[in-house]
């Protein structure tokens, strides 16, 4: 578990399935994924992150206020070496990223947007990558038109490096597409 000034960050596991389900009912989150999730999808997601924490020593956190109020989720993941998105990102970023293949992201409940919580999660993820994992670089990516997430990436010191094509939303369309444009950001970490 990690703490920040306002948040408690808990590694996602099966015990978080209900909170994952709640998060993926929120319109601000559902907008960027395929529909609201069922309880079974939330359970599978939570169990999958426990396995990833055990296998990769890194994963996403559930984010709570210190009083226990659910804010959202965020943190790091290790991208699969042979995934199409990983291969595309490798063409855009410095080779130092390739060893760890770390990606950072976040999703917040509507009521917590615009208050700096995503930046707080993002900064803590970068600290974890540098200080705990000794990583040299981290990427983030989102649909090109997701200006809120892109703004968070810039606020936490990440730099735009180009675009990839991946499954997601194309601006002006309601359904996800297989080749949506995603903006990729990177940060080089020092002290590792």
Domain at 161, CATH number: 3.40.630.30
User: Whose CA is closest to 119, among 140, 133, 100?
Assistant: 140
Confidence of residue 23 (pLDDT cuts 50, 70, 90): very high
Stretch 42-55: mean pLDDT? 96
Confidence of residue 46 (pLDDT cuts 50, 70, 90): very high
Is residue 161 within 8 Å of residue 93, measured between CB atoms? yes
Write down the pLDDT at residue 161: 97
Q: Which structural domain, as residue segments, surrounds residue 183? A: 2-188
Gap between the Cα atoms of 57 and 176, Å rounded: 31
Write down the pLDDT at residue 7: 98
State pLDDT tens for residues 26-41: 999 998 887 799 999 9
State pLDDT tens for residues 93-140: 988 898 899 999 999 999 999 999 999 999 999 999 999 999 999 999
Query: Which tokens hold the place of 12?
Result: 């996602």
Q: Residue 192 pLDDT more than 80?
A: no
Gap between the Cα atoms of 149 and 184, Å rounded: 11
Task: Using a pLDDT cut of 70, give the percent of the chain over it.
Answer: 99
Tally of domains in the chain = 1
- Average pLDDT of the chain is 94
């Amino acid at each position: 578990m990690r703490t920040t000034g306002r948040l408690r960050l808990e590694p996602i596991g099966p015990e978080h399935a209900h909170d994952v389900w709640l998060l993926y009912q929120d319109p601000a989150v559902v907008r960027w994924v395929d529909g609201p999730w069922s309880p079974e999808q939330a359970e599978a997601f939570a169990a999958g992150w426990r396995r990833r924490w055990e296998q990769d020593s890194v994963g996403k956190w559930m984010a709570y206020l210190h009083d226990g109020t659910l804010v959202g989720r965020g943190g790091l993941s290790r991208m699969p070496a042979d995934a199409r998105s990983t291969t595309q990102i490798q063409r855009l970023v410095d080779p130092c990223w390739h060893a760890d293949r770390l990606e950072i992201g976040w999703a917040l409940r509507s009521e917590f947007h615009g208050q700096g919580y995503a930046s707080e999660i993002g900064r803590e993820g970068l600290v974890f990558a540098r200080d705990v994992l000794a990583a040299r670089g981290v990427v983030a990516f989102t649909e090109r038109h997701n200006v809120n997430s892109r703004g968070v990436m810039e606020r936490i010191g990440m730099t735009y490096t180009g675009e990839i094509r991946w499954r997601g939303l194309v601006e002006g369309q309601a359904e996800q597409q297989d080749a949506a444009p995603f903006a990729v950001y990177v940060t080089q970490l020092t002290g590792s």
